[in-house]
Amino acid sequence: MARLAFASASSPPLTSARTLRRHFSVFAAADPKPPEMPRPHHPSLEVIGDRFLPALKDSLAKPYDAFPLVGFNRHVETIYAAFYRSVPFVRLRRECLRTKDNGSVALDWVAGDDGDLPPESPILILLPGLTGGSQDSYVRHMLLRARSKKWRCVVFNSRGCGDSPVTTPQFYSASFLGDIGEVIAHVGARFPRANLYAAGWSLGGNILVNYLGQESHNCTLSAAVSLCNPFDLVIADEDFHKGFNNVYDKALSRSLRRIFSKHSLLFEDIGGGFNIPMAANAETVRDFDEGLTRVSFGFKTVDEYYSKSSSSKAIKHVRIPLLCIQAANDPIAPDRGIPRDDIKANPNCMLIVTPRGGHLGWVAGEGAPNGAPWTDPVVMEFLQHVESCVTINGERMLEDVHQIQV
């Protein structure tokens, strides 16, 4: 006999219409027919979690074929994508949002959407990686893909990134969730009839998953996607200082120094435990985090910052559909840092691991070698599936399966 168990009186209240739309009654037959098995994915892909597998069967049934001469080596693919992937032209309109602590972030909307799209069009919020912004090629391709499906898109440029203004002596971190919370609330208030979604790459993915775990049942997003997320920042930091990875470490620290130098006067005579010379002259990301980041956000050591900011610990608390896409050979987001057990234990989550792809690469599929990464159509198939789940009175109803035991 099937059994239904629903949230108890001690469960968090359903405080918003968007949250309310994800909870509904499920009736099970006394003698149900066995469910039809989903079409299997191609063996070149590792897939954990089959809840959304039917929606992605077209993409995942095909083999992952890395582009020859590029995809054979993770470093070649990572560097090729960073320097040679096309950067599509997208006309953007910037909105600067002042946060509660008097900081600022920049939201880049696709220009013309207000006139071209109805107010109930689904909205995709994009979170670029460390030092990234709306100028990055992988962000631009995702903008075009989503916009072609009639989705409204906005890029969340963190403080100092994408030429976002910095108005206080604080940037952002892997675990600071104040800004993303305010951005989502702001976007939702502007378009109260639209369903909200988010996708984040690398550090943006880590921040996004941490946010999903923090908000848990109260999250107002309808679904999310995490791509090349480092997940375990302690493991990622260990690998960052090995062999060729030092090249990425130096490149990212150079970008951090560049952002800092534009706003260094805000940190003049700041005192406290800050080591401004170390941050200003950082040769590694760890140096920058030691001199500035960990102090800004109240961590005693860099290792404590990395440990407590790792989104691997948030997976078990995620209560909305979440798709995680990783590359097994990612040099910056190590495969061994993926929280496979927690993803498997949470039926709201699905993991796809490609055999190759590097970091922010995925030079494969129809767009290879210079077009959109392999992940873009998979991401949109997933998001469109969630958006298309419609039930009584046209309300979106995709339940949190943690509230249902059959």
Active site residues: 202, 330, 359
> Is residue 380 within a helix (H) or strand (E), and if so which, with residue range?
helix 375-388
Which residues touch 174 (CB under 8 Å, ≥6 apart)?
Answer: 203, 206, 207, 210, 233, 305, 306, 309, 310, 311
Closest-CA residue to 325 (of 383, 248, 370, 264): 383
Pairing type for strands 46-48 and 92-98 reads unpaired
Q: DSSP letters along 283-345, please? A: SSHHHHIIIIIHHHTT-SSHHHHHHHH-GGGTGGG--S-EEEEEETT-SSS-GGGS-HHHHHH
Alpha helices by DSSP H, listed for 5-49, are: 17-20
> Is residue 66 within a helix (H) or strand (E), and if so which, with residue range?
none
d(CA 87, CA 85): 7
Quick one: tokens of 222?
């309808």
Closest-CA residue to 171 (of 247, 279, 95): 279
Q: What is the CA radius of gyration of the chain?
A: 21
Cβ–Cβ < 8 Å for 53, 350:
yes
Cβ–Cβ < 8 Å for 123, 194:
yes
Pairing type for strands 92-98 and 152-157 reads unpaired
**Partner residues linked to 196 by β-bridges:** 123, 221
Cβ–Cβ < 8 Å for 128, 139:
yes
Which residues touch 139 (CB under 8 Å, ≥6 apart)?
Answer: 126, 128, 132, 133, 155, 201
- Number of neighbouring beta carbons within 10 Å of residue 13: 9
Pairing type for strands 349-354 and 46-48 reads antiparallel
Instruction: Report residue 128: phi and psi, to 5°.
Output: -70, 175
